Amino acid sequence: MAVDCIQYRVASNKIFGFLQEKGITKPELRLIIFWARHPHAKLSLYTIVSALDTAKFNLRGTISSLVIKSILIEQRNNNDLITYSLSNDWDTQEFIGELSQMDWNQLKILEHQLEGGAIPYCP
pLDDT recorded at residue 63? 94
Rounded CA-CA distance 117/37 in Å is 25
Mean of per-residue pLDDT scores for the chain: 81
Q: Which CATH architecture has domain 2-114?
A: Orthogonal Bundle (1.10)
- C-alpha gyration radius of the chain: 15
Give, in order, the Cα–Cα distances in Å from 92 to each of 17, 21, 22, 39, 89.
12, 12, 10, 11, 5
Which pTM value belongs to this model? 0.77
Backbone angles phi, psi at 57, to 5 degrees: -60, -40
Rounded CA-CA distance 108/34 in Å is 14
Strands 82-86 and 43-44: antiparallel
| Residues paired with 44 in a beta bridge | 83
pLDDT band at 122 (very low <50, low <70, confident <90, very high): low
pLDDT digits (tens, 9 = 90+) for 60-77: 999 999 999 999 999 998
Please name the residue ranges forming H helices in the chain: 2-22, 26-36, 45-52, 56-68, 90-100, 104-114
Q: How many percent of the chain have pLDDT more than 90? A: 23
pLDDT digits (tens, 9 = 90+) for 82-114: 999 999 888 888 888 888 888 888 888 888 777
